[in-house]
Structure 1
Amino acid sequence: MSEQPKPGKKAAERMGANASVDALASRALSVVASRSSKPGLPMSVARLQKLHDAAANGRTNTVPDVVKEMLEDGISAEVIAVNYIPEVARQMGEEWCEDELSFGHVTIGTARLQSALRVLGKDWWLDGRNGDGANDKGVVVVVAQDAYHTLGASILCGQLRQFGLSVRLAMGTSPEDLKRSLHGSTFDAILLSASSAESLDFLREYVETIRATVSGQPPIVVGGGILDQEADVKTAIGVDFATKDPFEALEFCGLTKNNRNRTSKTGQRG
């Protein structure tokens, strides 16, 4: 996931004055990950601008129309989801920090981008259900309690499904709810996504709950803006691995060998 941009002077003053808004904004802006996009893939500046304008400034939600147009022009759903949508969200986050967009515009724009994932097909639309059972390799994506946005989780789950994995989402649940939800379940990996605003002590409670609940002791990997902290997050919360790169996480968990060729190689032009 990308580093969060440095805030402008006015934004910095706002954040210092209101810690609750800062926590909310951190969650809102940490949904994007530059390392979740395919490095080096060229994107059309004109298409990025059109998608950005529809998300940030549109009086009505025209983002799905822009996405449909991109699909019709031969850009794959994977490229739109993994490259274009995160880049537009990142741009909006920078504009908020530089006082060029209001927080409301960023929030609504992010929601519009997420709604467009429905256009890209069932793999990318986040509904919280398990995979279709076609693959016996399963992962669960855990997003910490009180998460305000689900765009990042939507894209991550879509990437994992594209990789041929069965994916389950545990979104915004408390440790106790997570225990009830995962009790007796078996997974090949647990991916914990957390923003820079999350408490390390709170995340450690999540990890302890997972280890006590999930059968087979699968590897637990943490990613997200939480890794921007200077602290040794991996040791502090007790996970097995820490990375912002989904592929790197799957490699660590031994889930790439049989699925490496299942990712989409088509529709790469921008």
Structure 2
Amino acid sequence: MRDSQYGVPIERCGDELSTLARTVVARLAARSGRALQQIDPDLVFAMARAVASVDPALYDALRPEIRRARISDIDLVDSYFPAVARLLGCDWAEDRAGWAEVTIGLARLQSLVHQIGLGWDGSTAVDGASVLIVLPEGEQHSFGAQVLAGQLRRQGISVHLQIGTRLAVLRTLVQERQYDCAMVSVGCETKLELGRKIVKALKEASGGRLWVAVGGAVLDRVSNAAQLTGADIATSDPGQALAGAQLGTAGAAWKVSAITEAADRRLVAP
């Protein structure tokens, strides 16, 4: 065993995993348009090992390095954490990490995203723009949805995130609040029927007024998700969803990381 430059222990397979981290970062950079050198793959690797540990002090020990590298909270949420999530998913898929480790890691990432996003409350929303994000019952990880919510809030949009909420409650929410758009995240084919029921409930409760988008990892395998669910659009690009709702954000560079979705997809696979 040896230590990385960030003080995180690396097992014998560490060199292989570090290479994997670099591959993950390269793909993330290609998808997001960021320069590769802006995302440090060694730090991604160190973060993955730290968040998956039962000892929370390991991540705390990385905070000084994160500050010295001048990595902003936005960079963490939009770039580093999705890369870490993808790396954890690869670890599990290749039997390099157990379910418990990966679950701990995803839960800790979700907690970190929540802590960072407390100040992104959408209070500066122009014309009161409001979006409802729905994660259907049974989806095991909400990390991608939380990242999306944070991205929207930073743009001044008020976001209401509902995870595993009953249809009756969703109907009441839509009847009592004036949402401009709803986004329903579907992770796999087995959730398409539930997604259809959610879309139907949202449409009925709003009298057909609410623009509903369906997205998520299922779009990688199903080409007619909009038709199957009754949604107005099927897309993993929030900009497209919001443009359809006429919120004037078609030019926004909002793209839910396909790498984050890939990690969530593997983790929720039956």
**Which category describes the TM-score, using the shorter chain as reference length?**
0.7 to 0.9
Cross-structure match for 2:20: none
1:200 is aligned to 2:192: yes
Q: How does 1:105-120 map to 2 (within 5 A)?
A: 105-120=101-116
Measure, in 2, the Cα distance between the counterparts of 1:70 and 1:119. 16
Cross-structure match for 1:191: 183
- 1:56 to partner: Cα distance: 2.2
Residues matched between the structures, number: 225
Q: Which runs of 5+ in 2 are unaligned?
A: 1-26, 254-270
SS in 2 for 1:183: helix
Cα RMSD between the aligned structures? 2.9
* Contact 1:221–1:241, Cα closer than 8 Å, also in 2: yes
C-alpha distance 194-251 of structure 1, shift in aligned 2 (>3 A): same
Cross-structure match for 1:40: 34
The alignment-based identity, stated in percent, is 29
Pick aligned residue for 1:247 from 215, 225, 239? 239
Measure, in 1, the Cα distance between the counterparts of 2:129 and 2:52. 38
- 1:142 to partner: Cα distance: 0.9
Measure, in 1, the Cα distance between the counterparts of 2:200 and 2:125. 30
Q: Which runs of 5+ in 1 are unaligned?
A: 1-32, 125-129, 262-270
* Contact 1:68–1:119, Cα closer than 8 Å, also in 2: no
- 1:68 to partner: Cα distance: 6.2
Measure, in 2, the Cα distance between the counterparts of 1:200 and 1:118. 27
Q: TM-score, normalised on structure 2?
A: 0.73
Measure, in 2, the Cα distance between the counterparts of 1:249 and 1:62. 39
SS in 2 for 1:169: strand
Measure, in 1, the Cα distance between the counterparts of 2:215 and 2:108. 24
1:36-59 C-alpha deviation (Å, 9 max, x unpaired): x73334211121112111112353
Cross-structure match for 1:26: none
Cross-structure match for 2:71: 75
Cross-structure match for 1:221: 213
Pick aligned residue for 2:146 from 139, 147, 154? 154
* Contact 2:53–2:104, Cα closer than 8 Å, also in 1: no
- 1:180 to partner: Cα distance: 2.5
SS in 2 for 1:148: coil
1:212 is aligned to 2:209: no
Cross-structure match for 1:16: none
Measure, in 2, the Cα distance between the counterparts of 1:255 and 1:162. 15
1:171 is aligned to 2:163: yes
C-alpha distance 197-260 of structure 1, shift in aligned 2 (>3 A): closer
- 1:101 to partner: Cα distance: 0.8
Q: Given residue 132 of structure 2, which amino acid in structure 1 is its aligned partner?
A: V
C-alpha distance 211-96 of structure 1, shift in aligned 2 (>3 A): same
* Contact 1:138–1:187, Cα closer than 8 Å, also in 2: yes
C-alpha distance 71-115 of structure 1, shift in aligned 2 (>3 A): farther
1:146-197 C-alpha deviation (Å, 9 max, x unpaired): 2322211211100001112111112111212211233232111111112115
